[in-house]
């Protein structure tokens, strides 16, 4: 056990040493070894292949699935930052000379979920070039235990997770409940490709709850529903506090994404006993004399209190106009 744990660390050290001698001269010039070279598969060794991608393509060249990488930004050799301007295939898969000797799969970091290499070390490969900007919040985020490659298809001409229409299917692989939510009668039109999970969530982590793109739920909603922001002359306190007090963010069996149907929705916070103005509005008094039932019969609280998000009408204090 102890030895198994120590071995990758040992290889790390070795690879650091071997790097300067075994790497092709051109590649070494362009891709400086990172301070923390990625860990490797147990039998991987430390030697890079002699001819870079050409070595690999001798066997993998006929595999259309592999070759599609040449249609991606990673293969842009004119951009010095890309893998193909440096160690090429081995910039991601690690030293591959030993594997290239005979195709031993235990001698290559496949970067797949079935890989020998722990997730954190697989991700280091990518983070070595992509630590900045959006990935600042990665470590400590809810996703930092999953692999970059669980979402990103690197050998695809178009990475499905980057397109609105195909992104949700990637997320649903792990988030089954959300798939069900977005099928409900009232739902944000994610199903129709009109908005994506990443319009509301930062998949690489953020400081907000639920990795939202903005610091709060409401600020996230306002990016598209600006008219609900106000300021209103007559505010409705829960609206300013948190939209999800009344709405499901994803989907609901009730109209308008509501968490409950009025009057129940409203009665979570407002008691109907003592509701005023029955006579003035002409609402029928219930036969049993109970006040609340009258308003239930009147249909819905929002029939009268239609400005439930707030009102700018001078006499809108009761949110009725």
Hey, which residues between 219 and 278 contact ligand HEC (CB under 6 A)? 220-221, 223-225, 228, 236-239, 243-247, 249-250, 256-258, 262-263, 265-270, 272, 275-277
Q: CA 70, CA 33: separation in Å to the nearest integer?
A: 23
Cα 14 to the center of its chain, rounded Å: 36
**43 or 178: CB nearest ligand HEC:** 178
Phi, psi (5° rounding) for residue 16?
Answer: -60, -40
Measured between alpha carbons, how far is 246 from 251 in angstroms, rounded to an integer? 12
Site for ligand HEC in 281-300 (CB under 6 A): 281, 283, 295, 298
Shortest separation between residue 212's beta carbon and ligand HEC, angstroms = 6
Residues 6+ apart with CB under 8 A from 10: none
Cβ burial, residue 304 (10 Å; 0-12/13-18/19+): middle
Among 19, 23, 47, 93, binds ligand HEC (CB under 6 A): 93
CB contact at 8 A, 119 and 127:
no
Window 123 to 142, contacts with ligand HEC (CB under 6 A): 123, 125-130, 133-135, 138, 142
The answer to whether residue 216 forms part of the interface with ligand HEC (CB under 6 A) is no
Q: Rule CB under 6 A: which of 69-88 touch ligand HEC?
A: 69, 73-74, 79, 81-83, 86, 88
Q: Identify the DSSP state of 201.
A: B
Is there a contact between 126 and 148 (Cβ–Cβ < 8 Å)? yes
Binds ligand HEC by CB under 6 A, chosen from 154, 164, 316, 321: 154
Output the smallest distance, CB 72 to ligand HEC, in A: 6
Residue 98 interacts with ligand HEC (CB under 6 A)? no
């Amino acid at each position: 056990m102890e030895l198994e744990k120590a071995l990758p660390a040992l290889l790390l050290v070795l690879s650091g040493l071997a790097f300067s001698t075994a790497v092709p001269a051109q590649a070494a010039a362009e891709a400086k070894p990172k301070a923390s070279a990625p860990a490797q598969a147990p039998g991987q060794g430390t030697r890079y292949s002699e001819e870079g991608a050409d070595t690999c393509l001798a066997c993998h060249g006929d595999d259309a699935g592999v070759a599609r990488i040449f249609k991606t930004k990673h293969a842009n050799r004119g951009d010095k930052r890309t893998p193909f301007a440096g160690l090429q295939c081995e910039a991601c898969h690690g030293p591959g000379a030993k594997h290239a000797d005979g195709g031993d799969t235990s001698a290559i970091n496949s970067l797949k979920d079935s890989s020998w290499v722990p997730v954190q070390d697989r991700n280091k490969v990518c983070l070595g070039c992509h630590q900045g900007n959006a990935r600042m919040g990665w470590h400590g985020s809810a996703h930092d235990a999953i692999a970059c490659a669980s979402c990103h298809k690197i050998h695809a001409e178009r990475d499905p997770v980057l397109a609105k229409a195909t992104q949700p299917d990637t997320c649903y692989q792990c988030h089954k409940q959300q798939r069900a939510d977005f099928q409900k009668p009232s739902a944000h039109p994610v199903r129709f490709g009109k908005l994506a999970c990443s319009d509301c969530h930062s998949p690489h982590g953020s400081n907000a709850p639920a990795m939202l793109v903005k610091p709060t739920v409401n600020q996230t909603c306002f990016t598209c529903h600006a008219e609900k922001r106000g300021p209103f002359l007559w505010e409705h306190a829960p609206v300013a506090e948190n939209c999800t007090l009344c709405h499901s963010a994803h989907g609901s069996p009730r109209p308008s994404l509501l968490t409950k149907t009025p009057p129940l929705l409203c009665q979570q916070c407002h008691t109907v006993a003592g509701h005023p103005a029955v006579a003035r509005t002409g609402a029928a008094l219930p036969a049993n004399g109970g006040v609340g039932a009258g308003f239930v019969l009147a249909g819905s609280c929002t029939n009268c209190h239609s400005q439930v998000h707030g009102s700018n009408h001078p006499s809108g204090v009761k949110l009725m106009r």
